[in-house]
Amino acid sequence: MKKRFYPIVFTFIFIIFFIVFYKSLKNSNIYTPRIGINKEIPSFNAKQLNERKEVYSKEFFKKDEFYLINIWSSWCIPCREEHIFLKNLSNEKNLKIVGLNYKDKIKNAKFFLEDLGDPYDIIFLDPNGIIAIEWGAYGVPESYLVKKNMIVKKIIGPLSESSVIEIKRLIK
């Protein structure tokens, strides 16, 4: 009787462990912020990269203009790849590009812009990443198209040719 009992118990325990591990593999625990489209933009105070004066966001964002808020950092490889698309969008007359420099050193950010060019109308500093979290970002790069202080479009990851075409379509 004992010879049969141990293999049955061992098999039963193995099946339980297998089921638990299998179910946990299918359960994604990835954090995704819940800020989305048609939500009012968060207000914040931040220093500018070049002027070092503090700006209150409610004073900067005008309701009748389109803004592309781009969260970037000099250490971010995809940010380098998307930079050419930002430069393309900087030629659009009815779009202001706002940079949010995320957890970066000021000298590195300035070198990045000297090297690749500066497509931004203004750049805010976010040394602790708090502003990006309030926007709902969970990585860099991320971009938000804003009109009337509302988020019109959220782009997770680097801008691409298709996202640029969509942004241009939306701002026309």
- Tell me the mean pLDDT in the region 26-39: 58
Among all chains, which residue has been given the structure tokens 């009815």? 94
Residue range 114-125: average pLDDT? 95
- Closest CA relative to residue 47, chosen from 117, 110, 101, 95: 101
Quick one: tokens of 86?
């930002």
Domains and CATH numbers, the chain: 45-171 (3.40.30.10)
Question: Is pLDDT above 90 for 169?
Answer: yes
| pLDDT the model gives residue 73 | 97
E strand spans, 103-141: 122-126
pLDDT at 97 over 80: yes
Q: Radius of gyration (Cα) for the chain, nearest Å?
A: 23
Percentage of the chain exceeding pLDDT 70:
91
Q: What phi and psi values does residue 42 have, to the nearest 5 degrees? A: -75, 145
In contact, 112 and 74? CB cutoff 8 Å: yes
Predicted confidence (pLDDT) at residue 31 exceeds the cutoff of 70: no
Taking the C-alpha atoms of residue 60 and residue 155, their distance in angstroms, rounded to an integer, is: 22
| Average confidence (pLDDT) over 33-55 | 79
Mean pLDDT, residues 13-42: 70
Q: Is the pLDDT of residue 101 over 80?
A: yes
What global pTM score does this model have? 0.77
